[in-house]
């Protein structure tokens, strides 16, 4: 399999960002340098409704068979889980207009375990679909799978962050959800409190307007506040489509990675997203943007013209495309 490589290097010592022209490479993407940490970020993952039907009818393995190589090549794997893991019967499968998502525990475990996620964000508008009990059950079931949950739909103190130790490095993750309460104060305070003990710190916000391919002023102001507080990277979700990438004070901001697993088969934009492989190094950070496709509840690596179209959607003037 061949990947489209769009690389961005942020030179920490210079406090500036520069971009490397893209090229075509074969898996693995490239060999990490010593004292580096490779982190995979994927966006919205929803396992209810037609996704659950596909898993039941064709087997859980079909959902992510086309992207398993991404997970195998990373030291740390992070995503956004759009829903709960509970014993409640699915409401969305009964009526797809009622957007309350829950994932049957055994099926969720069968789907998520092979992906080996290290952490999943619950800072989104579906983590309370089955109220506080559903949120708590989801955290407990993720922890039982060895996945660290972080973030809360109401940005509740004590739930915002988690810390991952990998390759001798401390990676701090902070969740932020803007749709119920856009105040960034608690998240900024969390970043500032964590910062002295983090080798790298990433904020994962759930924000913006659904199906709109560009960020808004509120997103931009929040992202800049996170970087000003000490974030090394911002990786956003919620719009269900890819939004642009920005550099601010030498740090990258991905406003939305789009969908990674969803059943929104109604438009090209909702069926194409980005996975981002980040190589954190002492002197620079290198980003590899990998366009992905989710069609009929099956994820894969995007090829051909669709690959280039996805990259152009994310591109700002500083990027050099293949």
pTM for the model: 0.90
Residue 20 pLDDT level (bands cut at 50, 70, 90): very low
Q: Domains plus CATH for the chain?
A: 2-16+36-314 (3.60.21)
The predicted pLDDT at position 315 comes to: 80
Q: Is the pLDDT of residue 294 over 50?
A: yes
| Of 88, 105, 94, nearest in space to 47 by CA | 105
The predicted pLDDT at position 35 comes to: 62
Predicted confidence (pLDDT) per residue in 83-133, tens digit: 999 999 999 999 988 999 999 999 999 999 999 999 999 999 999 999 999
CA distance 242 to 213: 6
Q: Is the pLDDT of residue 297 over 70?
A: yes
Predicted confidence (pLDDT) per residue in 23-42, tens digit: 223 334 445 455 699 999 99
Residues 6 or more apart whose Cβ sits within 8 Å of residue 318: 17, 19, 247
DSSP 207-247: -S-TT-SS--HHHHHHHHHHHHHT-SEEE-BSSSSB--EEE
Q: Is the pLDDT of residue 4 over 80?
A: no
Calculated CA dihedral for residues 241, 244, 245, 248, nearest 10 degrees: -130
Predicted confidence (pLDDT) per residue in 203-256, tens digit: 999 999 999 999 999 999 999 999 999 999 999 999 999 999 999 999 999 999
CA distance 290 to 58: 26
Question: pLDDT averaged over the chain?
Answer: 89
Percent of the chain with pLDDT over 90: 84
Contact yes or no for 3/290 (Cβ under 8 A): yes
């Amino acid at each position: 399999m061949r990947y489209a490589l769009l690389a961005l290097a942020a030179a920490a010592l210079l406090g500036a960002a520069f971009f490397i022209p893209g090229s075509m490479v074969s898996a693995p993407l490239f060999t990490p340098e010593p004292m580096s940490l490779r982190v995979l970020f994927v966006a919205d993952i929803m396992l209810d409704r037609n996704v659950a039907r596909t898993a039941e009818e064709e087997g859980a393995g079909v959902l992510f068979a086309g992207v398993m190589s991404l997970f195998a090549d990373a030291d740390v794997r992070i995503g956004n889980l759009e829903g709960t893991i509970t014993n409640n019967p699915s409401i969305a499968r009964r009526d797809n207009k009622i957007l309350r998502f829950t994932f049957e525990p055994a099926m969720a475990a069968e789907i998520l375990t092979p992906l080996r996620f290290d952490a999943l964000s619950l800072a989104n508008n579906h983590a309370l679909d089955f109220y506080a009990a559903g949120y708590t059950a989801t955290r407990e079931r993720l922890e039982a799978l060895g996945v660290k949950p972080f973030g809360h739909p109401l940005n509740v103190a004590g739930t915002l962050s988690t810390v991952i130790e990998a390759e001798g490095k401390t990676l701090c993750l902070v969740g932020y959800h803007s749709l119920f309460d856009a105040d960034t104060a608690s998240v900024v305070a969390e970043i500032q409190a964590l910062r002295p003990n983090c080798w790298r710190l990433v904020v994962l916000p759930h924000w913006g307007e659904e199906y709109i391919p560009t960020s808004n002023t509120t997103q931009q102001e929040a992202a800049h506040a996170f970087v000003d507080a000490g974030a090394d990277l911002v990786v956003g979700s919620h719009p269900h489509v890819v939004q642009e990438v920005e550099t601010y004070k030498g740090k990258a901001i991905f406003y939305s990675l789009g969908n990674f697993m969803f059943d929104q088969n109604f438009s090209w934009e909702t069926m194409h997203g980005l996975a981002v492989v980040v190589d954190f190094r002492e002197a620079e950070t290198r980003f590899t943007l990998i366009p992905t496709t989710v069609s009929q509840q099956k994820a894969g690596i995007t090829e051909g013209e669709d690959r280039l179209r996805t990259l152009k959607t994310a591109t700002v003037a500083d990027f050099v495309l293949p």
